[in-house]
Structure 1
Amino acid sequence: MKLVVVLMLSALPLSCYAGSGCALLEDIIDSTIDPSVTEDQYIEGLEEFVPSDDTKQLLREYKQCFLDQSNRTLSNVQVMMVMWVSSYLPLKHW
């Protein structure tokens, strides 16, 4: 089931590929990193992508990993994710 979650998260940039970025992907990343979002709120936001209760449990564990981190670590992860998502944006040709 962990593989399903990894594949789901890695497929989001492809399904949202657009010149201006992907609001859905950004929202998921933000809710993953945001310590004020509870596990239940996180799963509720991903409901359309969650095929089973096993996946819900894995997402709870995944979110808990972020909840256990310091604000400094979460800030660094946010910077890393912005850089990662930006690498999927098309290069503009002038």
Structure 2
Amino acid sequence: MKLLMVLMLVALPLLCYASSGSGCQLLDDVVAKTINPEVSLSEYKQYLQEFADSDADQQAVGELKQCFLNQSNETLQNFDLMMQTIYDSFWCKHS
């Protein structure tokens, strides 16, 4: 399930076409909060509360954030770099 959530975060920007970032400020904010180790689990859950309709959704949100909290700063920086690379890719550029 954790892998699925990470893959969803990676795949979503491919649907947004923009020259800077994903083109979707909410998505950019969620990714930023997800990879920021200073954002606590409870703060993250509170931020995404309106999108988590059930207890299972809340649990999945918590597990996703905890997965990133368990990573090193280097891994988090590399994930951010990967997201920027996706945003800057040929497939996400405006024509």
CA distance in 2, matches of 1:49, 1:8: 15
1:83–1:12 CA distance, 2 compared to 1 (3 A): closer
Residue correspondences, number: 88
TM-score if structure 2 supplies the norm length?
Answer: 0.72
Over the matched positions of the two proteins, sequence identity in percent amounts to 41
The answer to whether the 8 Å contact 1:32/1:42 transfers is yes
Where does structure 1 lack aligned partners over 5 or more consecutive residues? Answer: none
2:56 maps to 54
Q: How far did residue 40 of structure 1 move?
A: 1.1
1:38-49 residue pairs with structure 2 within 5 A?
Answer: 38-49=40-51
Q: How far did residue 31 of structure 1 move?
A: 0.3
Residue 83 of structure 2 is aligned to residue 89 of structure 1: no
CA distance in 2, matches of 1:41, 1:69: 18
Letter in 1 for 2:92: L
CA distance in 2, matches of 1:54, 1:60: 10
Q: How far did residue 48 of structure 1 move?
A: 2.0
Residue 63 of structure 2 is aligned to residue 32 of structure 1: no
Higher RCO structure, 1 or 2 (CA under 8 Å, sep 6+): 2
How large is the Cα RMSD of the aligned pairs? 2.6
The answer to whether the 8 Å contact 1:13/1:22 transfers is no
Where does structure 2 lack aligned partners over 5 or more consecutive residues? Answer: none
Q: How far did residue 72 of structure 1 move?
A: 0.9
Q: How far did residue 55 of structure 1 move?
A: 1.2
TM-score if structure 1 supplies the norm length?
Answer: 0.73
